[in-house]
């Protein structure tokens, strides 16, 4: 997620809010847009297109108030606070331990300032350079073991989030959302996460160097130390003087004995064979053993404590700035924004939607037509255009049925008498209903069926012939699936398609 | 009271299909069996909870001749015919006889205008006139729609008959109508009565905006897919279940396919397809035409190797040029040259490789596969989703069969882009690959994709400038 460059408005989002927002975005990833729209409509704040961030924040507060799922923001924030406390405590212990180790002094040999400078000056300068050029260093060394502590911190944090399913949901089926959450954090807020990781490191650094400095001053005050320098390497005093002068440059303006002079450095060189200083016995040698301590204290302060503190302050402001200038212009946040601000266009059904009818198969057509082959009655249904003779020849040729009486009907009341007469005269004969293929039987046919059962025989067959009369010759309609379904709705075992009775 | 329309007609002539298509709801029961609809169901069109008009789906006419016989059993002058229909309704609405017709007539007698649906795929028969007459007796404004369910074509004879009873006769196929046809139908309905003009005009404008918004939402979803797919990788411990590279490769490509399927489900729901059957498009063998990594797909969609080479070179040169700019030109454009060379060489290698094997890296310590490096991959991905959106645009909510997305023999939408746009999109894809956080990257990708999607609404850009401006989205 990028930041706004100019004319920024202060965002109400805290890190906790941001984490909760991303968690909800992850939860919504697979949700039906219609469901999301229904959910968001009643809680959507009044849309103000100029106040996107505020609107999104208000939306988050509303969602947080109604959603039953756990919110990860406060949990992660608490965990981070705990880690900060641990870093602080660990830093204090490390700082005290480190200075105790470096100032180990049994009275026989002086405290060597070389490892002291290596730890509190050289190492700190390397670490500061690593911070300044962190992007470059990170890209260069992230694949190397131990190359970037940051990489492991961030990856570890994301892994931890992924492993903590309960952060986002109480339901197991929603655990995949955790991955989406971790991915969103990684993709959109990597710089912010890195800043939090760096801040944690700085808390450790401040605690470590602060404890080191205090312990150093205490030890200096309560003990009588002798400082000297020695190394296996062939290093001359003037080289060390140059190094010390460079290291003292930031605090040289304080004046006084902030840095040991060349004479002091030369005099405090310790030789291991004679177990004596180069200027042992002289007044300068005695003074030089103590003259190092202001310089060493200022080294801790200048290269350890102050930079850590400044970085910590800058990170704190930078995190605030990042949070206050979030754009929320990733694709899913943009979709949410559109959902909240866009007009709601919808079709609302007046009631519960009807479901498609299920086919009743319990009553199967069972014609047993063998006994009835021969004569039949014909009902020409609703403008069926073929003539009686055409229908007769079609039935004789294809089904061995010979019509002995024929009627035309559209389901009118006035037609019923003629139909009754025909049925009364030929009670046992099957009634063949010749119809256009699109004239699916409905209520009108049901009335005729009842008439047949009342006037004719309860077991006489009613056979439907959906006939295509487009061509010169009559043919059976191509697709009769809808007919089969329609006829099953009558639940009459003696009613069915003519072709099925053959 | 808001205006309303009752969609009426003979049973199984496509009334519910028309309603499903018109209101874009694939949950309305549509079946080839009679009596799918047994009572009048209203669907109210609302903008920000303000109702504008209602469309009623109704059961079909089953006994129209008998009802007309009943209506005519008493001589009635023309001015009392509506009252006679009302009398019919009052007589029968509580019982079982003529219950479907009573349900059908209820919204009309309450003031709904009539949308009569006829199936022009079979010949006209005079018994339909009883339905026309009953509707005419209600005195409500009416329009007839010629649906096309079967193969036959009898539009002319139907039109001649219907024009005698209805104010207007329009063709409207519930199974092939585009969004534009649906809006066109509402345009016609505006003229049925004065009271309908304003709410329908508002509704039409809102529907147009909704169409644009859907395409813009689709662009965001596709952009999200592109971003996810270009950074997709799988990491596995050495002792995990996938031991061979082949299995790992399969898992990787299946992961990419799953991302695409998820994206398509999302796109379908944006267009109101909630119960879409994806069987054909998702559960396909790897060599099927519809598969993301099938060779056919890659030969048709995406860009040609020559274009990929050019875009790869341009992307590399832009990246190198950035370095040159950062050092204030002190590098004498060496960065641009080297970047262009690296870009062209890497594109050439990847573009000429097989899509299934090229373009991923396999980690050493941990089994890691991805991200997929093939330069044509994002282009193919975008083309496939645009084709899918186009299929959704052409699909109506009355269709119930599984969706079939076929690229056919047509080239993808991205191949028709101008060279400048291709380069811009290529740079965006490359930036996504390199995880470069350009401030306007998201907006750029979304707006490029929105533009591509809007082209779907304007198949003839040269002759439809007016339409283009009508459908232009309100990009923030």
Summarised one tens digit per residue, pLDDT across range B266-307 is 899 888 888 887 754 444 444 445 566 665 556 556 666 667
Check residues A178 and A93 and name the one with the higher pLDDT.
A93
The CA dihedral of B279, B281, B282, B288, to the nearest 10 degrees, is 110
**pLDDT at position B241, please?**
60
CB-CB under 8 Å, B44 with A486: no
Scan residues 303-362 of A and list those with Cβ closer than 8 Å to B: 329-332, 334-335, 338, 342-351, 353-357, 359
Task: State the pLDDT confidence band at A203, using cuts at 50, 70 and 90.
Answer: very high
CA–CA gap between residue B41 and residue A454 (Å, rounded): 36
**Which range has the worst mean pLDDT, A14-18, A241-245, A269-273, B97-101?**
A269-273
Question: How confident is the model over A367-389, as a mean pLDDT?
Answer: 77
User: What CA–CA distance (Å, rounded) separates B354 from B391?
Assistant: 28
At residue B476, the pLDDT reads 28
- Nearest chain A residue to B443 by CA distance is A329
The residue whose two tokens read 């060349």 is: A262
CB contact under 8 A, B206 and A332: no
pLDDT for A164: 60
Nearest to A344 among B33, B49, B446 (CB): B49
Q: How far apart are CA B18 and CA B148, in angstroms?
A: 11
Q: What CA–CA distance (Å, rounded) separates A125 from A129?
A: 6
Residue B279: count of CB within 10 angstroms of its CB: 12
Q: Report the C-alpha gap between B130 and B146 in whole angstroms.
A: 18
C-beta neighbour count of A440 within 10 angstroms? 26
Q: What is the pLDDT of residues A69-99, one digit of tens each?
A: 778 888 889 999 999 999 999 999 999 999 9
Q: Given an 8 Å threshold on Cβ–Cβ distance, is B41 in contact with A344?
A: no
Q: Inter-chain contact B262–A357, Cβ cutoff 8 Å?
A: no
Do the Cβ atoms of A347 and B63 come within 8 Å?
no
Mutate to test the interface with B, among A411, A445, A486, A490 (most CBs of B within 10 A): A411
pLDDT of B9 over the 50 cut: yes
Contact A357 B31 (CB under 8 A): yes
B409: distance to nearest CA of chain A, Å?
32
- Asked whether the bond before B371 is cis by omega within 30 degrees of 0, the reply is yes
Contact B62 A442 (CB under 8 A): yes
> Which of A13-22, A286-295, B225-234 shows the lowest per-residue confidence on average (mean pLDDT)?
A286-295
**Closest residue of A to B220, CA-based?**
A331
Contact status, residue B116 vs residue B9, Cβ threshold 8 Å: yes
Per-residue confidence (pLDDT) for residue A447, from 0 to 100: 86
What are the E-state strand segments in B137-266?
Answer: 142-147, 169-171, 234-236
**Chain A residue at shortest CA distance from B125:** A383
**How large is the average pLDDT for residues A416-429?**
85
> What average pLDDT score do residues A55-67 get?
87
Contact A311, A169 (CB under 8 A): no
Q: Does B37 or B73 have the greater pLDDT score? A: B73
Chain B residues within an 8 Å CB radius of A346: 45-46
Residue pLDDT, tens place only, B42-78: 999 999 889 999 999 999 898 999 999 999 999 999 9
Q: Which residue segments constitute the domains of chain B, with CATH numbers given?
A: 4-192 (3.40.50.300), 212-470 (no CATH)
Cβ separation of B269 and A344 shorter than 8 Å?
no
CB A40 within 8 A of CB A340: yes
The reported pLDDT for the residue numbered A96 is: 93
Per the structure block, which two tokens stand in for B290? 């519809």
Note the pLDDT of residue A366.
63
The C-alpha atoms of residue A293 and residue A120 are separated, in whole angstroms, by 13
**Residues of B in Cβ contact (< 8 Å) with A350:** 41-44, 54
The residue among B10, B28, B65, B267 with the most chain A CBs within 10 A of its CB, best to mutate, is B65
Q: All domains of chain A, ordered by start, with CATH?
A: 15-340 (no CATH), 369-501 (3.40.50)
How far is Cα A295 from Cα A252, in angstroms, rounded to an integer?
Answer: 10
Q: How many A-B residue pairs are in contact by the CB < 8 A criterion? A: 172
pLDDT single digits (tens) B231-262: 887 766 656 665 667 777 788 888 888 889 88
Kind of pairing, strands B142-147 and B41-47? unpaired
Q: How would residue A495 be classed by pLDDT, with cut points 50, 70 and 90?
A: confident
Asked whether the beta carbons of residue B33 and residue A486 sit closer than 8 angstroms, the reply is: yes
B318 neighbors B428 (Cβ within 8 angstroms):
no
B408 φ/ψ angles, rounded to the nearest 5 degrees: 60, -145
Window A:374-393, CB contacts with B under 8 Å: 382-383, 385
In B271-333, which ranges are continuous DSSP H helix?
Answer: 279-282, 295-300, 305-326
Residue B178 and residue B458 in contact, taking contact as beta carbons nearer than 8 Å: no
CA distance B40 to chain A (A): 10
Candidate from A331, A444, A489 with C-beta closest to B224: A331
Distance CA A322, CA A320 (A): 5
Alpha-carbon distances of B67 from A462, B99, B358, rounded to whole Å: 24, 11, 72
Check pLDDT > 60 for residue A169. Answer: no
Chain B hits for A5, Cβ within 8 Å: 439
> Closest chain A residue to B219 measured between Cα atoms?
A331
Identify the weakest region by mean pLDDT among A47-51, A78-82, B171-175. A47-51
Distance (Å, rounded) from C-alpha A476 to C-alpha A499? 9
A235/B264: higher pLDDT: B264
Indicate the residue of B34, B269, B437 with minimum beta-carbon distance to A34: B269
* Residue that the structure tokens 């040698």 belong to: A285
B36–A332: do the CB atoms touch at under 8 Å?
no
CA distance B127 to chain A (A): 6
Chain A residues near residue B443 by CB distance under 8 angstroms: 329
Please name which of B445, B462, B467 lies closest in space to residue B218, comparing C-alpha atoms.
B445
- Across the interface, of A335, A346, A349, the residue whose CB is closest to B220 is A335
Task: Specify the length of chain B in residues.
Answer: 476
Q: How far is CA A204 from CA A305, A318, B261, in A?
A: 11, 19, 47
**Does A329 have pLDDT greater than 60?**
yes
Cβ contact A332–B224 (<8 Å): yes
Q: What is the pLDDT of residue A7?
A: 47
CA distance B410 to chain A (A): 29
Q: Which residue has the higher pLDDT, B75 or B401?
A: B75
Q: How high is the pLDDT of residue A38?
A: 80
SS3 sequence, A365-429?
CCCCHHHHCCEEEEEEECCCCCCHHHHHHHHHHHHCCEEEEEEEECCCHHHHHHHHHHHHHCCCC
Q: In percent, how much of chain A has pLDDT > 90?
A: 17
| pTM for this model (two decimals) | 0.71
Residues A123/A124/A128/A129 CA torsion (nearest 10 deg): -30
Summarised one tens digit per residue, pLDDT across range A337-349 is 888 888 888 888 8
Nearest to B48 among A343, A353, A440 (CB): A343
Q: Give the Cα separation of B44 and B52 in Å (integer).
A: 7
Angstrom CA distances, B301 to B376, B381, B414, B446, stand at 9, 9, 8, 20
CB contacts of B66 in chain A (<8 Å) are: 410-413, 444
Q: On the CB side of B259, how many CA atoms lie within 13 Å of its CA? A: 24
Q: Distance from A384 to chain B by nearest Cα, in Å?
A: 9
Check residues A199 and A151 and name the one with the higher pLDDT. Answer: A199
Q: Are B144 and B162 in contact (CB under 8 A)?
A: yes
Write down the pLDDT at residue B220.
Answer: 86
Please judge whether B220 and A332 are an interchain contact, meaning their C-beta atoms are less than 8 angstroms apart. yes
Q: Is A273 on the interface with B (CB under 8 A)?
A: no
Say what the pLDDT of residue B465 is: 36
A388: exposed, middle or buried (Cβ count in 10 Å: 0-12, 13-18, 19+)? middle
Q: What is the pLDDT of residues B176-188, one digit of tens each?
A: 877 778 888 899 8
Residue of chain A with shortest Cα separation from B435:
A187
- Phi, psi (deg, nearest 5) at residue A480: -115, 20
| pLDDT confidence of residue A182 | 81
Contact A349 B41 (CB under 8 A): yes
Residues of B in contact with A3 (CB under 8 A): 439
Residue A1: which pLDDT band, with cuts at 50, 70 and 90?
Answer: very low
Closest Cα in chain A, distance from residue B306 (Å)? 31
CB atoms A347 and B44 under 8 Å:
yes
Answer for the pair B18, B68: CB distance below 8 angstroms, yes or no: no
**Interface pTM (ipTM) of the complex?**
0.76
Integer-rounded Cα radius of gyration of chain B: 29
Contact A335 B29 (CB under 8 A): no
- What mean pLDDT is predicted for residues A398-406? 86
């Amino acid at each position: 997620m990028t930041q706004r460059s100019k004319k920024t408005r202060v965002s109400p989002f805290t890190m906790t809010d941001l984490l909760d927002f991303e968690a909800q975005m992850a939860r919504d990833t697979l949700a039906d847009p219609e469901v999301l729209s229904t959910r968001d409509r009643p809680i959507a704040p009044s849309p103000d297109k100029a106040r996107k961030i505020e609107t999104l924040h208000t939306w988050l507060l509303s969602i947080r108030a109604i959603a039953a799922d756990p919110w990860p923001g406060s949990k992660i924030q608490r965990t981070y606070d705990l880690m900060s406390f641990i870093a602080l405590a660990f830093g204090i212990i490390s700082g005290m331990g480190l200075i105790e180790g470096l100032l180990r002094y049994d009275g026989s040999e002086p405290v060597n300032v070389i490892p002291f400078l290596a730890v509190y000056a050289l190492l700190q300068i390397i670490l500061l350079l690593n911070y300044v050029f962190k992007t470059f260093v990170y890209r260069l060394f992230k694949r190397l073991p131990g190359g970037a502590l940051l990489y492991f911190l961030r990856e570890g944090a994301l892994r931890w989030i992924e492993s903590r399913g309960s952060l986002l949901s109480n339901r197991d089926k929603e655990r995949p959302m955790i991955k989406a959450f971790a991915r969103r954090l990684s993709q959109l807020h990597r710089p912010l996460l890195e800043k939090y990781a760096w801040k944690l490191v700085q808390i450790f650094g401040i605690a470590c160097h602060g404890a080191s400095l205090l312990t150093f001053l205490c030890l200096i005050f309560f003990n009588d130390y002798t400082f000297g320098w020695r190394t296996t390497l062939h290093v001359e005093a003037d080289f060390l003087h140059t190094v010390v002068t460079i290291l003292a440059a930031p605090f040289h303006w304080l004046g006084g004995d902030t840095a040991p002079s060349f004479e002091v450095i030369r005099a405090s060189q310790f030789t291991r064979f004679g177990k004596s200083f180069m200027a042992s016995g002289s007044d300068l040698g005695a003074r030089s053993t103590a003259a190092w301590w202001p310089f060493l204290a200022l080294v801790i302060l200048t290269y350890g404590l102050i930079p850590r503190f400044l970085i910590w302050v800058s990170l704190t402001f930078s995190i605030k700035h990042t949070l206050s200038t979030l754009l929320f212009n990733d694709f899913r946040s943009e979709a949410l924004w559109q959902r909240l601000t866009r007009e709601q266009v919808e079709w609302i059904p007046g009631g519960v939607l009807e479901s498609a009818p299920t086919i009743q198969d319990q009553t199967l057509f069972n014609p047993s037509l063998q006994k009835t082959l021969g004569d039949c009655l014909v009902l020409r249904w609703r403008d069926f255009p073929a003539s009686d003779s055409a229908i007769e020849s079609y039935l004789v040729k294809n089904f061995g049925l010979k019509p002995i009486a024929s009627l035309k009907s559209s389901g009118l009341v006035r037609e019923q008498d003629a139909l009754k007469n025909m049925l009364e005269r030929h009670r046992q004969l099957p009634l063949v209903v010749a119809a256009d293929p699109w004239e699916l039987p409905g209520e009108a046919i049901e009335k005729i069926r009842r008439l047949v059962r009342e006037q004719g025989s309860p077991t006489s067959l009613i056979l439907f012939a959906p006939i295509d009369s487009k061509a010169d010759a009559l043919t059976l309609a191509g697709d009769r699936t809808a007919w089969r379904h329609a006829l099953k709705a009558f639940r009459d075992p003696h009613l069915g398609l003519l072709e099925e009775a053959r | 009271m808001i205006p309303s329309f009752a969609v009426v007609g003979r049973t199984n002539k496509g009334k519910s299909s028309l309603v499903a298509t018109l209101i874009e709801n694939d949950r309305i029961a549509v079946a080839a069996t009679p009596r799918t609809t047994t009572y009048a169901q209203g669907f109210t069109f609302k903008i920000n909870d303000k109702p504008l008009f209602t469309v009623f789906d109704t059961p079909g006419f089953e006994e129209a001749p008998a009802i007309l016989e009943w209506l005519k059993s008493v001589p009635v002058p023309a001015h009392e015919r509506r009252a006679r229909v009302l009398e019919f309704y009052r007589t029968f609405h509580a019982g079982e006889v003529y219950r479907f017709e009573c349900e059908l007539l209820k919204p009309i007698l309450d003031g709904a205008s009539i949308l009569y649906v006829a199936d022009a795929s079979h010949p006209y028969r005079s018994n339909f006139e009883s339905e026309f007459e009953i509707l005419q007796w209600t005195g409500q404004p009416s329009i007839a729609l010629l649906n096309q369910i079967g193969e036959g074509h009898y539009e002319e004879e139907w039109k001649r008959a219907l024009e005698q009873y209805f104010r207007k006769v329009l063709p409207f196929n519930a199974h092939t109508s585009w969004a534009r046809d649906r809006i066109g139908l509402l345009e016609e309905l505006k003229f049925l009565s004065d009271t309908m003009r304003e709410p329908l005009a508002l509704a039409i404008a809102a529907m147009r905006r909704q169409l644009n918004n859907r395409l813009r939402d689709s662009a965001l979803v596709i952009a999200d897919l592109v971003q996810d797919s270009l950074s997709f990788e799988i990491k596995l411990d050495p002792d995990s279940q996938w031991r061979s590279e082949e299995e790992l490769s399969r898992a990787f490509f299946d992961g990419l396919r799953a991302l695409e399927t998820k994206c398509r489900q999302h796109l379908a729901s944006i267009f109101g397809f909630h119960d879409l059957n994806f069987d054909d498009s998702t559960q396909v063998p790897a060599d099927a035409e519809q598969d993301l990594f099938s060779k056919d797909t890659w030969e048709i969609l995406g860009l040609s190797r020559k274009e990929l080479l050019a875009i790869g070179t341009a992307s590399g040169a832009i990246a190198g040029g950035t370095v040159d700019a950062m050092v204030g030109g002190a590098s004498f454009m060496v960065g641009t040259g080297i970047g262009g060379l690296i870009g062209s060489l890497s594109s050439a290698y990847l573009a000429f490789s097989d899509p299934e094997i090229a373009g991923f890296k396999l980690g050493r310590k941990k089994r890691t596969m991805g991200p997929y490096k093939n330069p044509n991959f994002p282009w193919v991905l975008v083309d496939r989703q645009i084709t899918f959106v186009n299929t959704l645009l052409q699909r109506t909510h009355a269709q119930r069969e599984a969706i079939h997305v076929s690229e056919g023999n047509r080239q993808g939408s991205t191949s028709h882009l101008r060279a400048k746009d291709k380069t811009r999109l290529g740079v965006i894809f490359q930036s996504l690959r390199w995880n470069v956080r350009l401030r306007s990257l998201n907006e750029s990708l979304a707006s490029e994709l929105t533009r591509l999607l809007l082209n779907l609404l304007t198949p003839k850009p040269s002759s439809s400038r007016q339409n283009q401006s009508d459908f232009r989205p309100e990009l923030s």
